[in-house]
């Protein structure tokens, strides 16, 4: 059985630990399609398995919080990340401290 790209993305996303984040591009790279960051964003937007697949832990490469569809959107995403111990600098995740190594 072949695993689809979307299934690979969700599987990798489930491995991001609390207190860490991954970027859309990082997930695309780990799943074997380094130029598919936008597709990863689409998958996060339509995630059917939240919170088991923690799409709130996926951010842009500069740490900016981008679209989030639950409750109050980005406000909720930031609240969830802060509750998990993710450090911020202003409105952005401190990527240097919070980026998951992505070792799978």
Q: Where are the alpha helices (DSSP H) in 31-73?
A: 37-45
Task: Please provide the average confidence, as pLDDT, over all residues in the chain.
Answer: 92
CA gap 10, 72 in Å, rounded: 23
Query: pLDDT tens across 72-95, in order?
Result: 778 999 999 999 999 999 999 999
pTM of the model: 0.92
Please identify every residue annotated as catalytic: 55
DSSP one-letter code for 70:
S
* Residue 33 DSSP SS3: coil
CATH number at residue 86: 1.10.10.10
Return the structure tokens found at 92.
Answer: 């952005």
**In the chain, how many domains are there?**
1
**Beta strand ranges found along the chain (DSSP E):** 22-23, 58-59, 88-89, 92-93
Give tens-digit pLDDT for 45-68: 988 888 889 999 999 999 999 876
> Is 103 a domain residue?
no
Inside any domain, residue 66: yes
């Amino acid at each position: 059985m072949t695993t689809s790209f979307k299934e690979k993305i969700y599987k990798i996303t489930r491995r991001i630990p609390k207190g860490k984040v991954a970027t859309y591009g990082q997930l695309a790279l780990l799943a074997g399609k380094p130029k598919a960051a936008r597709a990863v964003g689409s998958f996060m937007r339509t995630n059917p398995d939240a919170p088991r697949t923690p799409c709130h832990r996926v951010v842009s490469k500069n740490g900016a919080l981008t679209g989030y569809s639950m409750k109050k959107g980005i406000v909720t995403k930031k609240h969830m990340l802060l509750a998990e111990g993710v450090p911020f600098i202003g409105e952005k995740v401190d990527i240097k401290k919070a980026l998951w190594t992505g070792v799978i």
